[in-house]
Each structure stands twice: as C-alpha cells, then as structure tokens.
Amino acid sequence: MTVHPLDPLTAEEIDLVRELLTSAHGVGAGWRYASIEAVEPAKPDLAAYADGGPVPPRRAEVVCFQRLDGSTYRARVDLAAAAVESFEPVPGVQPNFTIDEWEECDAMLRQHPDVVAALAGRGITDLSMVFIDTWTYGGALVPDAYAGRRLGWSDVWVRRVAGGNPYAGPVNGLHFVVDVGAMELLEIEDTYAVPRPEIMGEYRPHLLPEALRGHRPPRAPLEVSQPGGPGFSVDGHEVSWQNWRLRVGFNHREGLTLHQVGYRDAGRERPIAHKLSFAEMMVPYRDPGVDHYRRTAFDIGEWGLGFLTQSLKLGCDCLGEIRYLDAVMHDSAGRPYAIPNAICLHEEDSAVGWKHVDHDGAAEVRRQRRFVVSFHVTVANYEYLTYWRFYEDGSIECEVRATGIMVVSHVPEGAAHPHGTLVDTRTYAPIHQHFVVARLDLDVDGTDNTVVRSETVTDPIGPANPYGLGVRQVKAPFVVEGPDDYAWETQRAWSVVNPAALNAHGTPVGYKLVPGAAIPSFFDPASPVFQRAEVVGHTVWVTPNDPDQRWPAGEFVNQGGPGMGMPEWVSARRSTDRTDVVLWYVFGIHHIPRPEDWPVMPVDTISFWLKPSGFFDRNPALDVEPHPAPHCHAPVTPPPTST
C-alpha cells in the first residue's frame, strides 16, 4: 500500500528512526524515546501533490532524553533518504512521561524496603492488593531540593478483594516522591491516616452484593444490521461516506486526528477543514488538601492520548457494520507496537433529519444518518470516549464522553469535606474539572479565512419596534489574534468565513462553531496551576496557522511553568484577517460529583458542533432518499381477549 504524506508512521519507519539515531548518535542504552511522529507536510506541498506534483519529503520528528541526567534532544529524520537531518539539545525541559516509566516506577516502589515498611505501618502487608499510581509535577510545585530532577509523586490504593476496584481503597496521607529518571525514591510523605470505612466500591458484576443484582428486567434484543454492507469505503487512511471525504490520522500526543475534510457539492469537491484534533486536556482537582493539591493532569501534554488509546476489540464499544483502523505506537526504547482496532468507523441512524406534514395530510420525512469516527482512551481512573460525527446536512459534531472511576478520599466520622461530595460512608470525591482544547484548522473553500463573532442584540422599543420584538445579528471580524469568551446573554458564536468565496445569495461562505459545554475556569489569575494553562481562561482563541504552534499549554508541559503556549503566541498581535487561521475551542465538564457517579461513573457527555453557515445555498439534505416503507412500521399485535 502506498503511504500518503499524511499517513501515520508505520512500524518499519519507526524501526528505521531508531536504527538511524542509534547509529548516528548512540541513542540506545540509557536513553528513552518520549515521542516519534510523522512530520505533517506544509499545505502548499500537499496541494501540489494532490495536483500530481512531487511527493512531499517523508520525515519523522523525535524527542528523546538520557535517563540519568535528563538531557533532552530533538531530532529530525529524513525517512526516504534514511538520514538524520538534525539532532539538537533542548535545554531546561522535561519531556512527556512514558508508559514504561510508569510501570518501572511501580515495580521499583513495591520492592523498596522503605515503601514496604511504610505500608506495613499502615497494616498493609499483601502487596498483591496494592496499586501505586504515579503522577507528574507542575514546575511551581517542585521542591527546591529536587530542582532539575524528573519528578513523580504517587498515590497508594488497596483493593479489598482480588480483582476488586483499587480506587475504592485510598490510603490517605501516604505518598512517594520519586526521581523517575534515576528510578530513585526521594521521599516518603506520611502525613495523616484515616480509619478505613466499610463502603461498597465494587462495580464488576460478580463482586456486587446480592441486593444490587437482578432487579432489572432483561433487555429485549436490539440488532443493528446492514445486509448490503456499510455505506462507506476505506482506502488506506482515506474514508468516503456519501458526500464526505476525509483522512484519518493518529499520533502519540493527539491520538485520533482528522485531515483534509471535504464535501462534494454538486460535483465539486469543497474543502472544509485541514485538520481537526485535540491539542490539550487539563484536569485540575479543586481540593487544596495534601492528597490532591498536586493532582492536575495534562493528559495530552504530559502523557499523550495515542499512548493511552485502547483496543476496541476488548468490548462492545461500537455497534453495526464496523470497520476498524489499527494504530502503531512505540515504547520508550523506540520499538513499535500495534494497537489493534484503535479507531472505529461506522454508520448510525440518527432519528429524523427533516420533516413536514402539510395541511392536506401529505407528509415528507427523511431519517438522518451519520458517519462516526471514534476512539477511546484510558487515563488512569478515567476513560474518555471521543466521537466525530458527520451528518448528511453538512454538519460535524464532536462529542466526548467521560466515564470511569472518580478519585476518592476517606474522612473521619463527622469531618467536613468542603471541596467534594460524600459518595459513600466517610468517603468523598473532590470537585474537579475537565478542560479539552480542540484545535480546529478550518480551510473553508480555501485558506484565506477570517473568524467572525456573531451576537444577537435587542432593538430598543420605539416607533419602529413598538412591541419590543426586534432583534438583530451583530457581527465583528477577528482581525488580530487573541481570545474571546462565551456570552449566554447574546448567544455569542463564531464562524470561520471565506470573504472571497460567496454563495448564491452574495454572502461569504462559512462554517459556524456552535458552542457547547463552555465552562469558566474558576481560577484566580495568580494561581500557579492556572498559569501553566492560561488557555483554559477563555472559551475561544484565534491565531494565524503556524506549524510550530500546536500545543496551547506549551510543547513541554511536564514540570512546565507559567506563560507557555497560547499567551506567548498571541502577545505578537499578528493579523488574522483573510489568512490561514486556527480556531481553538475550550470546552469541558465542571464536575460536582454525585453519589450516582459512584462506584463507576455513567457517561457525562459534552459536545460542540461545526455547522455550515452560508456554505451551501440551501438545505444540502434535500436529496436524501425516503426510508423504505416496510421498515417504518412494525405489525401491531392486538391484545389478548379476556375470558
């Protein structure tokens, strides 16, 4: 199969990268690979290639570091020429954590005599029931004595039974500070203890008490069938469905990415988006107590969604006539491994798309279908399930479902828990937030776009508006990069328009960001936690497209400090008028825990939409076929006659 310039790296290419860096620069024993990813070609090079021009150079970018001294290097590798183009130091940074480090840290700690003794002091002697979870540090929280080290800190949890929920057994006040580079225990924090209450924290069926089982009638069978096969086609990483065409990508940090999203309109291929992805995910816990004050996760920058992606063969994650795409990742030694069925592709029925019943009883109904591209990641105690949905009317929906298990702490009898919710006996879950930053590189009928803010304002009552009915839309273009905030009172929204491309009505074509799940940060600007991710302080940001500006909280988030990423970029005050722009959208969950979220959380669903706004001249779903009549009505079975 021919590799497209936007395709992810193959296992063979990752092997080649490792071999070249080992040969040229000795990157082997004593080193770790934090990331290896394909370099995305520039848009002009891709356009020339699509027109039959030369194939853009196939390159890989690498971040690697020496384990003991933490010295970090960035490398660029020409895969076609099998040559290392550059190998440069990056001083003063800590790359993302790796899964290998997490596993090695767990093994080191549970064998350390001081850890064993500390656990025994808490009455914990069966280490097979112990779960140790290592988290990263923010730069402002790194103790002065450990400055410059690659630090982690660990929670401790204990299962009640084999195979039980570890997160139901927090060991309060016991944490380990670790130099993850040297795999050295630096400090044991043993600050306080709480007697363990009797709680019901299990969720696996065989561990549930009898009182919680068997009270629901069985489900009736519900089958999703497409006897003629799926209504979409897959050619490598290119997917076509009805009038949509797009490329599906994948990398270590963003996980699933969508490229070159376009729509065939009356025989004309029209570009909509160059790339849609998630650029950061920040989860701060809003509890200042000793067990939680360091608990601020940057799941994308500190760990990487690609590394945390789950194989969808493990459960019934998708229904219908499914096609899967595998993903290829690498371990910290630079060795490739596969994630089978990492990405799910399928169609869904989505109820009624449009309908009208006329006064004479004539009815026109069109059921709506949508095409779904999804992937799931597990980040310690939480799962994030991401769905990009494409509709027949030209709309795109992005939905994230959060599920999994909440972090909890025990408290003494009668003690306060002001920063959380009681979810079980003397057990509370802290208030926390999930911020997701979507990077929306839209190219609406071309790259010379402008972001326009739209608001609804009320006309004053007067002779022209005697009943106070008049409202109007006020629009203002973003001509200089910067932030903006959601405003409920004006229903503020944002569109990416192409001023040079007009529809049949003489107005610029565009796509509108319909905001959903926009939440305030609730941070004091002086907070060092907030200063690590100032991007979450506003709902949207508009910047000119720069291939070197991908990470809105900074490229090296681990142990990062203030002002990185977005605030640094927009300080340049660059023009965003009629140029290649990126719209960044911040959305998320302000999670006030409920008892109903315990011991496993029902999905909390958040979403936003990209909807055509003047992109088409009229409803593009007019030509959707009616649903076959035999499938619209089930036979009615009369009730039995009483005797």
Q: Half-sphere exposure of 61 toward its Cβ, with a 13 Å CA cutoff?
A: 10
Angstrom distance (rounded) from CA 562 to CA 560: 7
Note if 546 is an active site residue.
no
Tell me the Cα Rg of the chain: 27
Tell me the one-letter amino acid at 519.
I
- Could you tell me if 452 and 499 are in contact, meaning their C-beta atoms sit under 8 angstroms apart? no
- Could you tell me if 589 and 430 are in contact, meaning their C-beta atoms sit under 8 angstroms apart? no
Note if 382 is an active site residue.
yes
Angstrom distance (rounded) from CA 257 to CA 247: 8
Sign of CA dihedral 613, 617, 623, 627: positive
Annotated catalytic residue, options 155, 179, 291, 299: 299
Q: What are the residue ranges of helices labelled H in 479-614?
A: 528-531, 566-570
CB neighbourhood size of 130 (10 A): 21
Annotated catalytic residue, options 73, 137, 167, 382: 382
Of residues 443, 460, 436, 452, the one with CA closest to residue 492: 452
Query: Where does residue 86 rank: exposed (0-12), middle (13-18), buried (19+ CB within 10 A)?
Result: exposed
The contacts of residue 113 (CB under 8 Å, 6+ apart) are none
CB neighbourhood size of 44 (10 A): 11
The contacts of residue 522 (CB under 8 Å, 6+ apart) are 286, 433, 590
User: What's the distance, CA 91 to chain centroid?
Assistant: 28
Tell me the one-letter amino acid at 357.
V
Tokens of 289: 């107590």
Of residues 371, 354, 372, the one with CA closest to residue 363: 354
Tell me the one-letter amino acid at 400.
V
Tokens 């009483």, residue located: 642
Angstrom distance (rounded) from CA 396 to CA 376: 19
User: What's the distance, CA 553 to chain centroid?
Assistant: 14
The contacts of residue 511 (CB under 8 Å, 6+ apart) are 272, 442, 444, 495, 496, 610, 611, 612, 613, 615
* Strand pairing category for 493-502 and 450-458: antiparallel
Q: Which helix (H) or strand (E) holds 210?
A: none
CB neighbourhood size of 31 (10 A): 20
Angstrom distance (rounded) from CA 302 to CA 253: 9
Backbone dihedral angles phi then psi of residue 496, each to the nearest 5 degrees: -100, 115
Of residues 305, 363, 405, 422, the one with CA closest to residue 35: 305
Which residues are annotated as catalytic?
299, 382
